[in-house]
Amino acid sequence: MIRIASLAFALGAMIVPCLADDNGNGGQSCSGLPTDNQLKAFLKAAPTPGHTQDAGGLFHGDRMWGAVVNRDGKICSFATNTDDSSQVWPGSQAIAKAKAYTANAFSLDTLALSTARLYTFTQPGHSLWSLGQSNLFNPQFLAGTGGQGGGDNQIAGGLIFFGGGVPLYKNGKIIGGLGVSGDTSCTDHEIAKRVRNAAGLNPPGGATVDDITYTATEGASVFTHPLCINTFRNGTFVGNEAVATGY
């Protein structure tokens, strides 16, 4: 009986961590962040092509990879908003994971810094040029189109400096990052904002405190991001505005 009880206890110790969440990553490190299934649902609900909240771009946000990391930068969840992941650009999986890592890596409780706002800083002649060489993405942590692998609870790294990555917050504290990729970088950013808002993980200051900025209408700044094909922001088409200069 003692031997049987000991075996049951050992098996229980092995099984319980796997039941902590549906990501298979132990649970506690990803507490409060979207699971794979939740992320997929948010991504599916985010696009509204042809309606007042069109996200623009090539596919209106209908072919997206999304990824979430925790505050340590470890992958907590990833998903596509299509049932067949092969119909989203395969290269976008790595970009989504790197955007999630980047948004988390350079944001604080007091500073929400989307990847869109890092664009100009990291261009030649600006103060953070070559920052991307400091932490390269590890392709070992990618899933195949069949769903195998993916790097749950691993730090894939990677730094991306265009729209689509946003930090995630709970009770005013940063808890991780979200990355979205599969369309233009401008559309990626729009979908990322919507997913973050739907998940209730906006930063202090609200859903648009780290919003993408484009044009001369807003004034040139070091946070300016280039316009994309068919650019929409918060449901408004902005593709005909003058491009900002002088930054």
For residue 144, the model assigns a pLDDT of 86
HSE on the CB side for 45, CA within 13 Å?
Answer: 13
For residue 17, the model assigns a pLDDT of 29
Write the CATH number of the domain with boundaries 26-237: 3.30.450.150
Residue 243 φ then ψ, to 5°: -75, 140
Q: What angle do CA 188, 62, 183 make, to 5 degrees?
A: 35
Q: Which residues of 92-108 are buried (b: 16+ CB within 10 A; e: fewer)?
A: bbbbbbbbbbbbbbbbe
For residue 216, the model assigns a pLDDT of 61
The residue ranges of the chain whose pLDDT is under 50 are 1-26
Locus of tokens 């919507």? 194
For residue 69, the model assigns a pLDDT of 98
pTM: 0.86
